[in-house]
Amino acid sequence: MSDVVLRGVGMHPFGRFDGKSAIEMGCDAAREALADAGLAWKDIDALYCGHMYAGTGAGHKIATLLGASGLPIVNVENACSSGGTAIVMARHALASREYENVLVVGIEKMPRGFMDMDYFEPWRQRIGHAVNPAQFAFAIRRHMHEYGITERQLALVAEKNHAHSVHNDRAMYRKPIGVEEVLASRMIVDPLRLLMLCTPNEGAAAAVLTHRAVASGEVRLIGHGLKTATRRQSIGEHMPTDAPAGDGVESVTRRAAAQPYERAGVGPDDLDVVELQDTDSGTEIIATEELGLCARGEGGRLVESGATRLGGRTPVNPSGGLLSKGEPVGASGLGQVFEIVNQLRGRCGPRQVPDARIGLTHTLGAGGNCCTLLFERC
């Protein structure tokens, strides 16, 4: 039986790198992934490149730096889910036996501050309705109203992820930050404060996927989900202008997680480690519920219990998450893959989750895209 094996991973640190292009960072991440895989560039049959801001032919420019070999190249723009989507596309291509070895790279170099996105119509920008984090704020404000999530629980998410980041030399911020410091930081979009929101930044990450029988100790991709939000979801990263009233709508995260859980016969209780889209503290709390790590409305109490902290039942964002790494949107999904694959291979040093065998990544982005990837060490 053949599998999609995560043969090698690489990551350019996330942060600010003046004078270095996204293409150059992507090239560094690709070379590390190739070395980790024990493969040469000439062994790669196809390249998928996830990005949002890098312009025309980003993957082609990376290939030119590595030495244009004539291979097929696909550039993938799916906002925050670009990297995850590129892995899904690579998985399909490998499963169809089109290729043997595929390189997937995610890159980004973003402006500072609120994202200026052409996703929104100009009139929405002019009247102040084109604000990404406002959508995060809408979601957690309503959740606080319905379930009593507290500001302190929101601050705890940031405190936890920053505590994890101390051990990750590829994260942008690597200092512990206390709950009181988070609660004292500037309000940006109520109820979310500066230290509850991730920083748009720069970086790259890469993975080499090979189609062959998995060997003992290797990591394989055992499932994925790729969905978009529906019209019935009044809040979300599809940033709707309207929605029908009414509750009980299945979130895009819940639907994107159901697919790999069902197909791989894995449940949320089986997960040893999770990297999820903590663009903000509220999104992490809601995502832990929607991925099934706890019941709906229990996400605040879950982080409070320590279950999602390193040493807890299911550590969430052991890398420090986007809150510590920052979010270079095209690269962030592959940054999660870098962490989960290294966790499953036992390579994470002081932030290692003991004997991690099954891990999940989760990205959620503009357009209402949600992508989950499920990995297993054999």
Partner 1 sequence: MKTAAASLPPAVQPGLFATAPATLLGGRCEACGTLRFPHRNLCPRCQSTQVAAVPLSRHGTVYTYTIVRSKPPGYLGAVPYAFGLVELPEGLRVASTLTAHDLETIAVGDKVEFELITLGEGDHAVLSYAYRRREKR
Of the two residues 242 and 355, which places its CB atom closer to partner 1 in the complex?
242
Q: Rounded distance, CA 135 to CA 240, Å?
A: 9
Does 134 bind partner 1 (CB under 8 A)? Our answer is yes
Choose, by CB under 8 A, the member of 92, 129, 175, 347 that binds partner 1. Answer: 129
Residue range at the interface with partner 1 (CB under 8 A); choices 39-47, 49-57, 117-125, 313-321: 117-125
Rg (CA), the chain: 19
Does 190 bind partner 1 (CB under 8 A)? Our answer is yes
Of the two residues 140 and 310, which places its CB atom closer to partner 1 in the complex?
140
Q: In the 8-state DSSP scheme, what is residue 109?
A: E
Residue 120 CB-density burial (10 A; 0-12 exposed, 13-18 middle, 19+ buried): middle
Give the residue among 55, 74, 80, 50 at the shortest CA–CA distance from 322.
Answer: 80
Q: Rounded distance, CA 314 to CA 353, Å?
A: 9
Minimum CB separation of residue 141 from partner 1 in Å reads: 5
Q: Rounded distance, CA 49 to CA 194, Å?
A: 31
Minimum CB separation of residue 312 from partner 1 in Å reads: 30
Residue holding tokens 């997960």? Answer: 271
Interface characters, 75-114, with partner 1 (x: CB under 8 A): --------------------------------------xx
| Ranges assigned E (strand) in 97-170 | 101-109
Give the residue among 335, 339, 287, 324 at the shortest CA–CA distance from 308.
Answer: 287
Residue range at the interface with partner 1 (CB under 8 A); choices 33-41, 95-103, 134-142, 285-293: 134-142
Q: How many beta carbons lie within 10 A of that of residue 121, not counting itself? A: 11
Q: Total residues contacting partner 1 (rule CB under 8 A)?
A: 37
Residue 55 CB-density burial (10 A; 0-12 exposed, 13-18 middle, 19+ buried): exposed
Q: Rounded distance, CA 255 to CA 292, Å?
A: 11
How many residues comprise the chain? 378
Minimum CB separation of residue 229 from partner 1 in Å reads: 13
Interface characters, 224-263, with partner 1 (x: CB under 8 A): -------x--xx----xxxxxxx-----------------
Minimum CB separation of residue 249 from partner 1 in Å reads: 12
Minimum CB separation of residue 357 from partner 1 in Å reads: 39
Q: How many beta carbons lie within 10 A of that of residue 311, not counting itself? A: 9
Residue range at the interface with partner 1 (CB under 8 A); choices 93-101, 186-194, 197-205, 251-259: 186-194
Of the two residues 238 and 309, which places its CB atom closer to partner 1 in the complex?
238
Minimum CB separation of residue 294 from partner 1 in Å reads: 22
Q: How many beta carbons lie within 10 A of that of residue 349, not counting itself? A: 10
Q: How many beta carbons lie within 10 A of that of residue 68, not counting itself? A: 11
Of the two residues 130 and 287, which places its CB atom closer to partner 1 in the complex?
130
Q: Rounded distance, CA 214 to CA 212, Å?
A: 6
Taking the mean position of all CA atoms in its chain, how far away is CA 79? 11
Minimum CB separation of residue 108 from partner 1 in Å reads: 18
Choose, by CB under 8 A, the member of 19, 96, 145, 269 that binds partner 1. Answer: 145
Choose, by CB under 8 A, the member of 46, 89, 188, 303 that binds partner 1. Answer: 188
Choose, by CB under 8 A, the member of 12, 91, 141, 254 that binds partner 1. Answer: 141
Choose, by CB under 8 A, the member of 98, 116, 250, 262 that binds partner 1. Answer: 116
Contact positions vs partner 1 (CB under 8 A): 113-114, 116, 121-123, 125-131, 134, 137-139, 141-142, 145, 186-192, 231, 234-235, 240-246
